[in-house]
A and B are shown apart, each in its own frame.
Chain A
Amino acid sequence: MKKLAILGAMTVAGLSAGVASAATLDDVKARGKLNCGVTTGLVGFAAPNANGEWEGFDVGVCRAVAAAVLGDPTAVEFVPTTGKTRFTALASGEIDMLARNTTWTFSRDVDLGFEFVGINYYDGQGFMVPKELGVSSAKELDGATVCIQTGTTTELNLADFFRANNISYEPVPIETNAEAQPLYLEGACDVYTTDASGLAATRAAFENPSEHVVLPEIISKEPLGPLVRHGDNQWGDIVRWTLNALIAAEELGVTSANVAEMSASAGSNPEINRLLGTEGTLGEMLGLEADWAKKAIMAGGNYGELFEKNIGENTPIGLARGLNAQWTEGGLLYSPPFR
């Protein structure tokens, strides 16, 4: 029995060695499915809807990549990950890419051996408190009990913020957003802190969202973006340029409604032609088909459409574009040129 177990362990170890060395693109094509790591459930970013289908802003990125690579936006296996499990899942090859509002930091990029392919949401850490507490600034939170997700940058920012302002707090570590909600609502903590977008999403899921306020202070920079493993540059390029294609499409006015028409034949704008594959060989350079970007845009629309549909001002989450507007409109979104 013991020997059998050892043999089994050896087989598993051997298999995982195989996974790590092969090219991710070939693996995904052979599997016919993209394994995409997402949150365990954050409305607007990634959460299953009433029919059990995943939807959200991060989910949209996964679907765009699946569409670009496999031609089918539904060929995605969504793997829910917590703040703790996400990096192990990616490093071990369990998922091909991680789109889980993950903050791009130096040590994650360099030391953990990951490759952030871009930024799909410019965020910052904020605080939410019940209105009845009468708090108007984060600096009034001396002695407060703060609910916080473990294994995130928010945890470190929080320690820095309270130390810098020389005020004390009592951290209550929580594993997932879902566990934090009842603790906060029952009053076991006074404050809930996470990225401002996450706070808006969490608040939207409350019974009485108007009883809670998000404090004005944003205490950190949280550039959130999808990431892949170090070492497979081709796969990194595919995910990076799929994200860029969504951003460029909005800038160029390509939407899910007009993309079919625009890609039917080469138009007057050469950049749109190159993006949609009616001109040049960009798709071939990536190792994909010429109309990869068209499929990615058709999957859920361009960046702006994804934003409005999932987290924009007309959704319960109600986030303004702010920093996440195109650079031409005063935001930070700026895709490198397609040429």
Chain B
Amino acid sequence: MSTISDPPSGSFQLSMLINDTRYRSYTFQFIALILLILAFAYLGYNLLANLQAAGLNISYQFLGEPAGYDINQTLIPYTSQSTHWQASLVGVLNTLLVAFLGCLMATVIGVVVGVLRLSDNWLVRQLMSVYVEIFRNVPVLIWILIIMAVFIAVLPQPRDFRGDDPEATMFLNAFAFTGRGFYSPAPIFGPGSGAVIAVFLASIAGIFAFRNYAKKALYERGQLIPTFWPSVAIFFIPAIIAYFIFGRPITLEYPELRGFNFQGGIFMRNSLIALWFALSIYTAAFIAENVRAGILAVSKGQTEAAASLGLRPGRIMNLVVLPQALRVIIPPLISQYLNLTKNSSLAIAVGYMDLTGTLGGITLNQTGRAIEAIFLLMLFYLAISLAISAIMNVYNNAVKLKER
């Protein structure tokens, strides 16, 4: 009979929790966990006990009660009779709006500046580093306040447009740039405009189909089909034809000065513009550094190899360097997006009604439910940040180096 030496059948003893290296680390981690839970339990208990001593309690009933205050920028229907919960949702949407716009603009500016910082042109390079250093090293709150102050002081107010010889006039009779915000014409969708929009969307799909076809033709038959002008044509011509066939259903509503303000058209508030712009240029300075680092991380041999194949510098950047640099750029970019989103909570400095302004500001004040409101605020920001992270991680997985 062959003998198989069994591993010593573990007669487990308590002392092994300390002495056996296999278990020791678990033991200490477990103890640390217990202590942590105890500490938080103590803090929680202390909070509840103090609240009780002050005759207060934790209750979310206030969310169902009428808010009683008005909000200037609402993306969903809201009146002062809506509930605190709806006011919070208005705030969430305003936060998401400025975060989305900010991320978009910060990325565009950041990539351009990051690439230009590596330019061969001395002047451009220096200008870009001045931009990065100035904006990166002054707190974003200051930028928000400066931009808002300049905005209000420099641009004319609606009252300056009044009178026979006004100090300010509208641009093309359609756009008004005032210290209170920008007014632009708004489209009015009459009957039949649905068809025009459908044609327009279909033509956008057509552009993508045409570009795919052109690419295929290039790769399979080596046939180079021009894409730019046909794309422009597909973009405009069908929609314009449809517009006239259906009897010009879409008209423009122009803003005009009535009473105290311009009325009609699309109104973009000064607070949104100032906050958006400040967050964008501030975060763009950081993104520019990420982009520069990403580009420098691609070895010079790649550029030289591409050049030796006869590619022009613009194409080397677009086809060879940037796709590889993206792998380095995306992870820190996620952090920048999260920073921008969280920095948007400084909105109240310019009176932009974001989540901190509604739920964490007026609602908190009017109801006095500070702990409840702050807790909910934290949950909202956590959820938004995790969602941005998740989306960006999906994108990161798509561009990262595929190892087989």
Q: Which 3 A-B pairs have the closest CB atoms?
A: A151-B365, A187-B157, A159-B80
A188 to chain B, nearest CB (A): 5
Q: Give every chain A residue within 8 A of B106 (Cβ-Cβ).
A: none
In the complex, A268 has a CB within 8 A of chain B: no
CA distance A230 to B54 in the complex (A): 7
Q: Which residues of chain B from 230 to 282 have a CB within 8 Å of any chain A CB?
A: 258-261, 263, 270-271
In the complex, B53 has a CB within 8 A of chain A: yes
Q: Give every chain A residue within 8 A of B80 (Cβ-Cβ).
A: 159-160, 163
- 9 CB-based A-B contacts, threshold 8 Å: A84-B361, A84-B365, A91-B370, A107-B368, A144-B260, A156-B366, A163-B79, A187-B159, A230-B54
CA distance A187 to B153 in the complex (A): 9
B179→A186 contact, CB < 8 A: yes
B366→A144 contact, CB < 8 A: no
A87→B368 contact, CB < 8 A: yes
CA distance A38 to B247 in the complex (A): 65
In the complex, B357 has a CB within 8 A of chain A: yes
B263→A113 contact, CB < 8 A: no
Q: Give every chain A residue within 8 A of B179 (Cβ-Cβ).
A: 186-188
Q: Give every chain A residue within 8 A of B397 (Cβ-Cβ).
A: none
CA distance A182 to B179 in the complex (A): 12
A146 to chain B, nearest CB (A): 9
In the complex, B36 has a CB within 8 A of chain A: yes
With A142-B259, A159-B69 known to touch, is A20 a contact of B53 (CB < 8 Å)? yes
B351→A151 contact, CB < 8 A: no
In the complex, A213 has a CB within 8 A of chain B: no
In the complex, A14 has a CB within 8 A of chain B: yes
A105 to chain B, nearest CB (A): 10
A150→B362 contact, CB < 8 A: yes
Taken residue by residue from 133 to 177, chain A's Cβ proximity to chain B (1 for < 8 Å, 0 otherwise) reads as 100000001111100001110011011101100000111111100
In the complex, A88 has a CB within 8 A of chain B: yes
A186→B68 contact, CB < 8 A: no
Partner of B361 from the list A107, A151, A231 (CB cut-off 8 Å) is A151
With A20-B50, A20-B54, A159-B69 known to touch, is A151 a contact of B43 (CB < 8 Å)? no
Q: Give every chain B residue within 8 A of A112 (Cβ-Cβ).
A: 368
Q: Which of A5-13, A43-51, A285-293 contacts B (4 or more CB under 8 A)?
A: A5-13
A133 to chain B, nearest CB (A): 8
CA distance A333 to B258 in the complex (A): 46
B261→A143 contact, CB < 8 A: yes
Q: Give every chain A residue within 8 A of B43 (Cβ-Cβ).
A: 9-10, 13
A187 to chain B, nearest CB (A): 4
A36 to chain B, nearest CB (A): 20
B290 to chain A, nearest CB (A): 28
New A-B pairs, 5, CB < 8 Å, besides A10-B39, A156-B366, A182-B149: A14-B46, A150-B362, A155-B69, A155-B362, A172-B351
Q: Which label, helix, strand, loop or mixed, suits the secondary structure of the B interface?
A: helix
CA distance A17 to B43 in the complex (A): 11
Q: Give every chain A residue within 8 A of B47 (Cβ-Cβ).
A: 13
Identify the closest chain A residue to B370 (Cβ): A88
A231→B54 contact, CB < 8 A: yes
Q: Give every chain B residue within 8 A of A3 (Cβ-Cβ).
A: 35
B54→A159 contact, CB < 8 A: no
Q: Give every chain A residue within 8 A of B152 (Cβ-Cβ).
A: 182-183, 186, 188
Q: Give every chain B residue within 8 A of A13 (Cβ-Cβ).
A: 42-43, 46-47
In the complex, A108 has a CB within 8 A of chain B: yes
In the complex, A190 has a CB within 8 A of chain B: yes
In the complex, A111 has a CB within 8 A of chain B: yes
A150→B72 contact, CB < 8 A: no
With A14-B46, A17-B46 known to touch, is A91 a contact of B153 (CB < 8 Å)? no
In the complex, A210 has a CB within 8 A of chain B: no
Partner of B71 from the list A133, A171, A188 (CB cut-off 8 Å) is A171
In the complex, A16 has a CB within 8 A of chain B: yes
In the complex, B49 has a CB within 8 A of chain A: yes
In the complex, B205 has a CB within 8 A of chain A: no
With A173-B348, A186-B152 known to touch, is A151 a contact of B366 (CB < 8 Å)? yes
Identify the closest chain B residue to A190 (Cβ): B260
In the complex, B293 has a CB within 8 A of chain A: no
A143→B180 contact, CB < 8 A: no
A124 to chain B, nearest CB (A): 18
B365→A150 contact, CB < 8 A: yes
CA distance A132 to B35 in the complex (A): 68
Taken residue by residue from 119 to 156, chain B's Cβ proximity to chain A (1 for < 8 Å, 0 otherwise) reads as 00000000000000000000000000000010011000
Identify the closest chain A residue to B69 (Cβ): A155
Taken residue by residue from 65 to 90, chain B's Cβ proximity to chain A (1 for < 8 Å, 0 otherwise) reads as 00011111000000111000000000
In the complex, A63 has a CB within 8 A of chain B: no
With A151-B362, A188-B157 known to touch, is A158 a contact of B70 (CB < 8 Å)? yes
Partner of A145 from the list B39, B54, B260, B353 (CB cut-off 8 Å) is B260
In the complex, B301 has a CB within 8 A of chain A: no
In the complex, A316 has a CB within 8 A of chain B: no
Q: Give every chain B residue within 8 A of A163 (Cβ-Cβ).
A: 79-81
B57 to chain A, nearest CB (A): 10
A173→B357 contact, CB < 8 A: yes
B249 to chain A, nearest CB (A): 29
Identify the closest chain A residue to B62 (Cβ): A111
Partner of A16 from the list B36, B50, B259 (CB cut-off 8 Å) is B50
CA distance A87 to B363 in the complex (A): 13
In the complex, B8 has a CB within 8 A of chain A: no
Taken residue by residue from 163 to 206, chain B's Cβ proximity to chain A (1 for < 8 Å, 0 otherwise) reads as 00000000000000001100000000000000000000000000
Identify the closest chain B residue to A143 (Cβ): B259
B362→A173 contact, CB < 8 A: yes
Partner of B368 from the list A9, A111, A144, A190 (CB cut-off 8 Å) is A111
A169→B54 contact, CB < 8 A: no
In the complex, B56 has a CB within 8 A of chain A: yes
In the complex, A229 has a CB within 8 A of chain B: yes
In the complex, A269 has a CB within 8 A of chain B: no
Taken residue by residue from 329 to 370, chain B's Cβ proximity to chain A (1 for < 8 Å, 0 otherwise) reads as 000000000000000000011010100010001101111101
B53→A150 contact, CB < 8 A: no
In the complex, A21 has a CB within 8 A of chain B: yes
Taken residue by residue from 173 to 212, chain A's Cβ proximity to chain B (1 for < 8 Å, 0 otherwise) reads as 1110000001100111010000000000000000000000
Partner of A156 from the list B50, B68, B72, B364 (CB cut-off 8 Å) is B68
A282 to chain B, nearest CB (A): 29
CA distance A150 to B349 in the complex (A): 11
CA distance A144 to B259 in the complex (A): 8
With A10-B42, A143-B260, A145-B180 known to touch, is A17 a contact of B50 (CB < 8 Å)? yes
B403 to chain A, nearest CB (A): 35
With A6-B39, A14-B46, A188-B152 known to touch, is A108 a contact of B368 (CB < 8 Å)? yes
